[in-house]
Structure 1
């Protein structure tokens, strides 16, 4: 039976973490290498370059550019270097080197052409092999290995030859060194043989490699963290000059000078790798390719010759390193138990699935933008965990898990849009025309429909009305009038919502807005005042608002702050989220009081006090509105332009002085003050009309200066 589309989508959403994990794990092999390289880079970014053990258990003798330039090597074919190399080998053996590995394969010798030429070199090889401190190199091919010259092999001993093969990953990067390789035994059957790094480390420690029945290998009681095929994942020290490197040319001059103390100081008890460290020859891409350092830094002490100039380009970094350093790093790992271990496939898969599951939970738990931020935080935390594990020697499936988490995000966003958010969008679309957006969000989050009930809260109410509405609408067709009003309401509603309020209702041509509910805001009085000023500015900026052929209306606004009842009010079958109470009535009365003072915006004293900035207002009067026994001080909010205008500031100061005279019963002085201001100040003109009626008469006992308004 074919499942309905919705059921199929739900199954897809539930399976998204598994699908993402499966896709990431399918690319495990191709991602593991870059994942390790990325962890090197992240580790260095968080912890700085990884230093080598101090003192380093391994050193490198480099056949470097300096060796090719200095006599007696300069101008001499490399085939004739055997005796000179023997001098250095003898010096290291005399100095107490624990084990020496030659990362050089010389399949031919001039000994066949010049008998006796390499006698001392062969004797040195024989000595090193007999003492078990010298290992020659071979390269293991598919069938027959590339072996050193037979005379060298016989001199050192056939049991002292080991493979220098390295393991190249599919992307061409060398990250692993074979601990053992399969070679043909005397009877032709395959048998395991230690690789060069394992053999040198074993001899330097004086401990044999031990193979358990399950195939695992241990050295010095430490189980090696090998990967598939007994391969050690190398943990490179990335500090500049981490592995001390000595020039063959300097050591040859040192040995010729008989400075045995230098060899004893720098090579006693050490594992030594001898190999080429040239600019172009035998260089390999390794797992530390993104954190390599300029060459020639932190070089060890010299013996006989100073460092040759012009060998290194200052600050130049190469993404490849000489292969001998990979062997040396592996030897250091084996001797200090500092290799890298990779998680098993089962543990790795569990970690990938865990991260995919967490990403799924974050994606489904919140809005897309917050989910994206949460996903970024999750990836940051995962990076930190992976780096700290890497610092401790454990390689987690870093990129695989990160990829799974990233894949989950778009999969589940599509699932949310198609299934989960569909119901929420339907609810929001059904209610958004009647309820505040924040209330709809609460309803969706709780999964419950709105219910009857209210609460008393301290709010600021904005009541606006259109002055001159009757005149501007004269002769207009109803459809045209509706278009004009709707455009006006749209602009005003956008301003209210932009300042954190919501429009409760439209009452004819009036707008009732609430600030401070359903969610509290930092200062609802200030938000309401700013909204009122923005509404007036919108009317000034757009002369087409409320403009008709019969005239243009204007906007009057009243603001009041105080307790009000807000909530779902009505019957169980029909109700509104609305506000009611004395504060609402006062806002409406103050809107109407603007007519008396010819002002555009009037606020109560509570609004001014809650706003917190007295300089943003000027006192107008104390009034007693219709239907309210208690008088209320009223104020006019000031725009930034008026506050910055010196002339307006002077007029406001004069108005305040005249108002003070009025309230004190000094009617003659008040008359004079308001008379001077009346031509430029409509509020002063309104006050002048009152003062003129009392000029020449004393104030009666108990005079308060309250103006009783007789109109709504």
Structure 2
């Protein structure tokens, strides 16, 4: 049993979104990272660079190029920098720093070679460790971690060392920090969770522990960290230039040497501090803000003792990577200000993708491809706006997954429609396009039904065109050549009819029967038909090769009539035509033939003139009684724009109208005089003159109305 088109549409509209969603969700993990990075860029385009909290709860002390270039660091191996770093750490501890994290791992020390060289540094580490304000770094490996020098570890305390590991996504980009990590128990017990560097520094700065609940969620000072049970938090970077205040180690050392304790208190009191390398080439990472990074060296904080060195920064230079210490610093800021990014869970992501895929399917199936594409662009714009605003408020929607789902549904459905659904439409259209008007075929396709017998009575305008001189024109022509001439003529005339909203019912030998006002109604079918007739005449004038043969050239005569007709599928169940029947059709044919009598190219009935609505577009010719019709009909000749604008022709038409009025009133002498003056210029006037001359000197019969009885079809 063949499924109906409607059922197949419903089935296709349901299955395609499911298929697209399945494909997208299969690669969702790979799309999530680029999706987040894209949202950074879109957010910046919509809202501008994201500023850091004011004041920033975290600052960075950078071991930068300036540090390497200034005394006393210049020319000194970094292994000998311990006492200088200790002096800066002491200044920050004295200034009231809430917590300090060293994003540096020094596994060796010159203390083993030069005993006492780092005594002050070790004492500072001991002080910071005892006060719980200093955290040293280690790098967690699968087996043994890379630890600080044992002396530093003893001084600071074994409980003050945390991992600085970050989490790479499959594409190598760092977007998340591990809130806790599993560390090996030195006593051989089960691995235990331990806060990472960012979580530990934020915890100490807030004075609250990192707590992992029985449900797997982690909290800090009442803040339920985003990331759920995955134990990873997506970092929400502030993207404004210089968002995290960065102080040069060289300037802070000079500041400590000068004894400027007020500077340290002003800039570090109550702050979380990260100390790390911020060089051009060392420890740089690709992070989720890689497409919206800013030139370095902008919006630097106040200096203490030394001015910023010249030539440190290249104006306008942007790098897609950032020093790793800034990822820790941004995470600490998120934890302290409760500004981390939360990702939608899997059920919500599936729901969003299915919703967008379903909406895309509905739009694609509901309209033509071009309009559907425009509608999908609107959906994409709305989805982008929703995703950006959600991202601005800390929630990451599956943005690219939704975009890809929409992008998959559109071509899939178009392909299915073309291969399956529209196949039936093409078959119907191809089967009937040579026999039925396109609008009727569209109705059949929309209804899903083939045409059936039946008709209705409607007021329409019928155009009947025939070739004058066809017999002479075709004399001596080979049938193939004659067919070529006729086909070209029919093609031009049919195009004109269809361009004016009509359709060609049939070709009868060398004649064309066209209908205006069906199957679809026209605002003014009489005007459309008259305009088509004028265009047909103009085409004959503009192209002398139409109907031209070696035996001569044919000309077209046109008759138009308006009135009730029977139109529909008429015939037998096995063979029928969509056609018109009735007196109006016959009248149009008779008026076409009446042109021979008046030597006019086209003629319309009074009903056509009345429905047209502009009497000035016609001139009255006569009142005639055609063969096979009892009622007389007033006939008119349509006027081209050129004739209407011609003042001389207008004067002649006025004179013709006066002579015609005399004729219809029975004033034959006056009518003959009027038509005689016009006969050299007007073939219709010459015809009327012959009739008037036959009655000159005679009185009109009783009941005279001036009707001309035509005896030929």
Tell me the TM-score normalized by structure 1: 0.82
Name the CA distance, whole Å, in 1 between partners of 2:248 and 2:31. Answer: 38
Tell whether 2:159 aligns with 1:159.
yes
Name the CA distance, whole Å, in 1 between partners of 2:532 and 2:308. Answer: 76
Q: Residue 42 of structure 2 corresponds to which residue in structure 1?
A: 42
Task: Sort the Cα spacing of 1:685 and 1:499 in 2 relative to 1 into closer, same or farther, 3 A.
Answer: closer
Tell whether 2:131 aligns with 1:128.
no
Q: Residue 325 of structure 1 corresponds to which residue in structure 2?
A: 326
Task: Sort the Cα spacing of 1:472 and 1:203 in 2 relative to 1 into closer, same or farther, 3 A.
Answer: same
Q: Residue 197 of structure 2 corresponds to which residue in structure 1?
A: 196
Displacement of 1:177: 1.0
Contact 1:137 1:161 (C-alpha < 8 Å) held by counterparts = yes
Displacement of 1:432: 2.5
Task: Sort the Cα spacing of 1:706 and 1:149 in 2 relative to 1 into closer, same or farther, 3 A.
Answer: farther
Contact 1:623 1:634 (C-alpha < 8 Å) held by counterparts = no
Name the CA distance, whole Å, in 2 between partners of 1:130 and 1:508. Answer: 112
Name the CA distance, whole Å, in 2 between partners of 1:671 and 1:64. Answer: 114
Per-residue CA deviation, residues 92-135 of structure 1 (Å, 9 max, x unaligned), is: 33333322222222223333444444333333333322222222
Tell whether 2:294 aligns with 1:293.
yes
Name the CA distance, whole Å, in 2 between partners of 1:586 and 1:268. Answer: 104
Displacement of 1:210: 0.8
Contact 2:95 2:262 (C-alpha < 8 Å) held by counterparts = yes
Contact 2:472 2:552 (C-alpha < 8 Å) held by counterparts = yes
Contact 1:622 1:632 (C-alpha < 8 Å) held by counterparts = yes
Q: Residue 267 of structure 2 corresponds to which residue in structure 1?
A: 266
Q: Residue 507 of structure 1 corresponds to which residue in structure 2?
A: 508
Q: Residue 640 of structure 2 corresponds to which residue in structure 1?
A: 637
Name the CA distance, whole Å, in 2 between partners of 1:605 and 1:460. Answer: 12
Tell whether 2:110 aligns with 1:110.
yes
Per-residue CA deviation, residues 328-384 of structure 1 (Å, 9 max, x unaligned), is: 221222222222223333443444344444444444444544554455444444444
Task: Sort the Cα spacing of 1:657 and 1:10 in 2 relative to 1 into closer, same or farther, 3 A.
Answer: closer
Tell whether 2:93 aligns with 1:93.
yes
Task: Sort the Cα spacing of 1:338 and 1:410 in 2 relative to 1 into closer, same or farther, 3 A.
Answer: same
Per-residue CA deviation, residues 655-697 of structure 1 (Å, 9 max, x unaligned), is: 5665676678799999999999988xx6x45447757998999
Q: Residue 216 of structure 1 corresponds to which residue in structure 2?
A: 217
Name the CA distance, whole Å, in 2 between partners of 1:591 and 1:85. Answer: 109
Q: Residue 4 of structure 2 corresponds to which residue in structure 1?
A: none
Greater shift in the superposed pair: 275-284 or 45-54: 45-54
Task: Sort the Cα spacing of 1:467 and 1:317 in 2 relative to 1 into closer, same or farther, 3 A.
Answer: farther
Task: Sort the Cα spacing of 1:519 and 1:198 in 2 relative to 1 into closer, same or farther, 3 A.
Answer: farther
Contact 2:13 2:362 (C-alpha < 8 Å) held by counterparts = no
Q: Residue 387 of structure 1 corresponds to which residue in structure 2?
A: 388
Name the CA distance, whole Å, in 2 between partners of 1:562 and 1:242. Answer: 81
Q: Residue 429 of structure 2 corresponds to which residue in structure 1?
A: 428
Contact 2:502 2:516 (C-alpha < 8 Å) held by counterparts = yes
Contact 2:80 2:110 (C-alpha < 8 Å) held by counterparts = yes
Per-residue CA deviation, residues 498-549 of structure 1 (Å, 9 max, x unaligned), is: 4443222323322233344333456656655664455445445655433333
Q: What are the equivalent positions in structure 2 for 1:446-461 lying under 5 Å apart?
A: 446-451=447-452, 461=462
Which consecutive residues of structure 1, in runs of 5 or more, have no partner in the other structure?
Answer: 1-6
Task: Sort the Cα spacing of 1:540 and 1:56 in 2 relative to 1 into closer, same or farther, 3 A.
Answer: farther
Contact 1:559 1:602 (C-alpha < 8 Å) held by counterparts = yes
Larger radius of gyration: 2
Q: Residue 3 of structure 2 corresponds to which residue in structure 1?
A: none
SS at match of 2:152: helix
Q: What are the equivalent positions in structure 2 for 1:659-670 lying under 5 Å apart?
A: none
Q: What are the equivalent positions in structure 2 for 1:533-552 lying under 5 Å apart?
A: 534-536=535-537, 538-540=539-541, 542-552=543-553
Q: Residue 397 of structure 2 corresponds to which residue in structure 1?
A: 396
The number of equivalent residue pairs is 692
Name the CA distance, whole Å, in 2 between partners of 1:570 and 1:68. Answer: 100
Name the CA distance, whole Å, in 1 between partners of 2:595 and 2:258. Answer: 108
Per-residue CA deviation, residues 147-166 of structure 1 (Å, 9 max, x unaligned), is: 22233323322212111111
Name the CA distance, whole Å, in 2 between partners of 1:589 and 1:84. Answer: 115
Greater shift in the superposed pair: 501-510 or 13-22: 13-22
Displacement of 1:200: 1.4
Per-residue CA deviation, residues 547-576 of structure 1 (Å, 9 max, x unaligned), is: 333222233445566776654456777654
Name the CA distance, whole Å, in 2 between partners of 1:591 and 1:310. Answer: 94
Name the CA distance, whole Å, in 2 between partners of 1:229 and 1:466. Answer: 86
Greater shift in the superposed pair: 601-610 or 46-55: 601-610
Q: What are the equivalent positions in structure 2 for 1:599-618 lying under 5 Å apart?
A: 600=601
Displacement of 1:192: 0.7
Q: Residue 620 of structure 1 corresponds to which residue in structure 2?
A: 619
Contact 2:603 2:636 (C-alpha < 8 Å) held by counterparts = no
Greater shift in the superposed pair: 90-99 or 603-612: 603-612
Displacement of 1:183: 0.7
Contact 1:651 1:677 (C-alpha < 8 Å) held by counterparts = no
Q: Residue 3 of structure 1 corresponds to which residue in structure 2?
A: none
Name the CA distance, whole Å, in 2 between partners of 1:555 and 1:386. Answer: 66
SS at match of 1:187: coil
Displacement of 1:231: 1.4
SS at match of 2:219: strand
Task: Sort the Cα spacing of 1:705 and 1:263 in 2 relative to 1 into closer, same or farther, 3 A.
Answer: farther
Task: Sort the Cα spacing of 1:8 and 1:502 in 2 relative to 1 into closer, same or farther, 3 A.
Answer: closer
SS at match of 2:578: strand
Q: What are the equivalent positions in structure 2 for 1:297-308 lying under 5 Å apart?
A: 297-308=298-309
Name the CA distance, whole Å, in 1 between partners of 2:193 and 2:271. Answer: 26
Contact 1:235 1:329 (C-alpha < 8 Å) held by counterparts = yes
Q: What are the equivalent positions in structure 2 for 1:58-73 lying under 5 Å apart?
A: 58-73=58-73
Name the CA distance, whole Å, in 1 between partners of 2:51 and 2:460. Answer: 64
Name the CA distance, whole Å, in 1 between partners of 2:559 and 2:229. Answer: 80
Q: What are the equivalent positions in structure 2 for 1:282-681 lying under 5 Å apart?
A: 282-451=283-452, 461-476=462-477, 478=479, 480-520=481-521, 528=529, 531-532=532-533, 534-536=535-537, 538-540=539-541, 542-558=543-559, 566-568=567-569, 576-579=577-580, 588=589, 591-592=592-593, 600=601, 619-621=618-620, 623-625=622-624, 626=626, 629=632, 631=634, 634-638=637-641, 649=646, 651-652=648-649, 654-655=651-652, 658=655
SS at match of 2:106: coil
Displacement of 1:194: 0.6
Tell me the TM-score normalized by structure 2: 0.82
Tell whether 2:53 aligns with 1:53.
yes
Name the CA distance, whole Å, in 2 between partners of 1:29 and 1:549. Answer: 78
Name the CA distance, whole Å, in 1 between partners of 2:234 and 2:605. Answer: 77
SS at match of 1:104: coil
Q: Residue 187 of structure 2 corresponds to which residue in structure 1?
A: 187
Name the CA distance, whole Å, in 2 between partners of 1:137 and 1:47. Answer: 36
Greater shift in the superposed pair: 575-584 or 385-394: 575-584
